């Protein structure tokens, strides 16, 4: 089965072609340079950039896969959650392709795509996870703990009550005058920094639930920054970044491990943009080894927003559909019905 996947929910315009579970091509046009000067994603600029990028990204995906439009069996596109203008561009491109080539189309959930991304892993260090697993989706828009019982069968375990972990890192990075996205800059600068130099809170860490909170940590970091009086540089900046990152990582690791034990899942999956983080990976590796849990983190390119995870999820849904008539709605010639769901909850 040959599936075309399209992703445009935020600031990455991406297309991928998946053949029976194997990626034939995977193209991503990043908009980081466009949003960098504003310190965050500007939705209007994001949708305009998607309009300029989408055809080129699709053409490249076909060129690099060495196949023609006719070889595609079905199409999957991110339906939500995400920025409405950005989502619309991918959805309209997918509809146009499906209509012109008379192929079935499915709209899929972006967070579900992230959650199942490690199933695409061919990395020996982080093999694809076994079901069921405890999934932590941690990105600029989400911090969710979800038990994956099976494909399409999820149990809500916990979520952030305020900011997403990546959002908090991005905002702290912006206050530090670092380049966008702040999470990536903090990751780089924190190497070699002293993670205990600044005393920052771990909100809800010892609370008897699996929810997260990062806005208190963000405020505490900004208060400490104000006390320093000027923007830190050199060693002080490295210490500040390492201390901030450690506070975020502490909350994420401790709750996820506790949840995996409480919900009896032998495997842990960490996915979403923040899972690219060096320190988060280190700490999860250590904690999973100690708790005798299997850890799976997708390769870097599959951590941040990408169409490979969307193609995979679409392919899984098409296969499920073949077995079960009640599976998600697949659009045929009525593809024009497919509308974006900007605030779609996964569970």
Instruction: List contacts with ligand KG4 (CB under 6 A).
Output: 10, 139-141, 166, 169-170, 181-184, 187, 272-274, 276-277, 304-305
The count of other CB atoms within 10 Å of the CB of residue 63 is 11
CB of 113 to Zn ion, least distance (A): 8
Kindly calculate the radius of gyration of the chain based on its CA atoms and give it in whole angstroms: 20
Of 187 and 246, the one with the shorter C-beta distance to ligand KG4 is 187
What residues contact 147, with CB distance under 8 A and at least 6 apart? 132, 133, 134, 135, 154, 155, 157, 259, 263, 265
CB of 270 to ligand KG4, least distance (A): 12
Residue nearest to ligand KG4 (CB): 273
The candidate with the shortest Cα–Cα distance to 161, out of 217, 104, 238, is 217
23: which 2 tokens?
């990626």
* C-beta of residue 122 within 8 angstroms of C-beta of residue 259: no
Q: Which of residues 100-119 bind Zn ion (CB under 5 A)?
A: none
CB of 322 to ligand KG4, least distance (A): 30
Of 72 and 94, the one with the shorter C-beta distance to Zn ion is 94
CB of 140 to ligand KG4, least distance (A): 3
CB of 286 to ligand KG4, least distance (A): 17
Binding window for Zn ion (CB under 5 A); candidates: 138-146, 202-210, 287-295, 319-327: 138-146
* Of the residues 12, 112, 187, 305, which one makes contact with Zn ion according to CB under 5 A: 305
The candidate with the shortest Cα–Cα distance to 204, out of 265, 162, 246, 173, is 162
CA of residue 132 relative to chain centroid, distance? 20
* C-beta of residue 47 within 8 angstroms of C-beta of residue 347: no
Is there binding between residue 271 and Zn ion (CB under 5 A)? no
* Of the residues 14, 121, 139, 190, which one makes contact with Zn ion according to CB under 5 A: 139
Site residue total, Zn ion (CB under 5 A): 2
The count of other CB atoms within 10 Å of the CB of residue 196 is 10
Cα 198 to Cα 206: distance, rounded to the nearest angstrom = 20
CB of 110 to Zn ion, least distance (A): 6
Residues that bind Zn ion (CB under 5 A): 139, 305
């Amino acid at each position: 089965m040959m599936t075309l996947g399209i992703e445009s929910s935020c600031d990455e315009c991406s297309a991928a072609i998946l053949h029976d579970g194997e990626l034939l091509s995977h193209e991503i046009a990043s908009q980081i340079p466009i949003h960098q000067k504003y310190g965050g994603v500007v939705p209007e600029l994001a949708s305009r950039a998607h309009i300029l990028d989408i055809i080129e990204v699709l053409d490249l995906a076909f060129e690099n896969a060495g196949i023609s439009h006719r070889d595609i069996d079905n199409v999957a596109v991110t339906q939500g959650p995400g920025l409405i203008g950005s989502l619309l561009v991918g959805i309209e491109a997918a509809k146009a392709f499906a209509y012109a080539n008379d192929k079935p189309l499915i709209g899929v959930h972006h967070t579900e795509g992230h959650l199942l991304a490690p199933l695409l892993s061919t990395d020996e260090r982080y093999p694809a996870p076994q079901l069921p697993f405890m999934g932590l989706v941690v990105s600029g828009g989400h911090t969710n703990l979800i038990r994956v019982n099976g494909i399409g069968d999820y149990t809500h375990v916990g979520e952030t009550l305020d900011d997403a972990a990546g959002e908090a890192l991005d905002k702290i990075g912006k206050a530090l005058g670092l380049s966008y996205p702040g999470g990536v800059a903090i990751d780089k600068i924190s190497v070699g920094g002293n993670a205990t130099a600044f005393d920052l809170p771990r909100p809800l860490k010892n609370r008897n639930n699996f929810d997260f909170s990062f806005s208190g940590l963000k405020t505490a970091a900004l208060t400490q920054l104000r006390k320093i009086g000027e923007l830190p540089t050199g060693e002080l900046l490295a210490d500040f970044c390492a201390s901030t990152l450690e506070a975020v990582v502490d909350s994420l690791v401790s709750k996820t491990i506790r949840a995996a034990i409480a919900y009896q899942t032998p495997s842990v999956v960490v996915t979403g943009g923040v899972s690219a983080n060096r320190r988060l990976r280190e700490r999860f590796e250590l904690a999973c080894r100690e708790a005798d849990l299997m850890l799976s983190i997708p390769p870097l390119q599959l951590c941040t927003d990408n169409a490979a995870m969307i193609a995979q999820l679409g392919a899984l849904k098409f296969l499920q559909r073949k077995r079960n008539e009640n599976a998600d709605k697949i659009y045929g010639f009525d593809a024009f019905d497919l509308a974006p769901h900007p605030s779609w909850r996964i569970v």
